[in-house]
Structure 1
Amino acid sequence: MDPYAGFPAGFFSRADETPDAVFYRPERLVTHIDERAIAAVGALYAELGIDGDAARPVRVLDLMSSWISHFGVPPAELVVLGMNGAELAANGAATDRIVHDLNADPRVPLPDADVDAVVCCVSLDYLTRPIEVLADVARVLRPGGVLAVTFSNRCFPTKAVRGWLYTPEERRGDLVAELVRRAGGFAEPAVALRTPPGFGDPLWAVTAVREGNA
Structure 2
Amino acid sequence: MGAIVRQSGLPPEYFERYDESDDRLFYLYPRLTAHIDEAACRAVTNLIREELPQGGCLLDLMSSYVSHLPTDIPLNRVVGLGLNEEEMRLNPQLHEYVIHDLNAQPQLPFPDATFDGVICTVSVQYMTRPVEVFADVARILKPGGPFIVTFSNRCFPSKAVRIWLATNDRQHLELVRCYFELAGGFTNIRCLDRSPHHWLSDPLYAVVGRRVV
**How high is the TM-score relative to the length of structure 1?**
0.93
Number of corresponding residues: 207
Aligned to 2:184: 184
Q: Counterparts in 2 of 1:58-137, with a 5 A limit?
A: 58-73=56-71, 75-137=75-137
Specify whether residues 78 and 2 from structure 1 end up closer, same or farther in structure 2 by C-alpha distance, changes over 3 A only: closer
Contact 1:123 1:151 in 2 (8 A): yes
Structure 1: runs of 5+ lacking an equivalent: none
Q: Which is further off, 63-72 or 4-13? A: 4-13
Aligned to 2:172: 172
**Between the two proteins, what is the percent identity of the paired residues?**
45
Is the partner of 2:187 in helix, strand or coil?
A: coil
The structural deviation recorded for 1:9 is 4.6
Aligned to 2:36: 33
Aligned to 1:143: 143
Rounded Cα–Cα distance in structure 2 between residues aligned with 1:105 and 1:154: 25
Structure 2: runs of 5+ lacking an equivalent: none
Rounded Cα–Cα distance in structure 1 between residues aligned with 2:156 and 2:185: 30
Aligned to 2:158: 158
Q: Which is further off, 3-12 or 20-29? A: 3-12
Rounded Cα–Cα distance in structure 2 between residues aligned with 1:81 and 1:2: 22
Task: List, as ranges, runs of 4+ consecutive aligned residues in structure 1 with deviation greater than 3 Å.
Answer: 1-6
Give the helix-richer structure, 1 or 2.
Answer: 2
Aligned to 2:205: 204
Is the partner of 1:39 in helix, strand or coil?
A: helix
Contact 1:181 1:188 in 2 (8 A): no
CA deviation string 1:45-68 (max 9, x = no partner): 111134xxx2xx121100000000
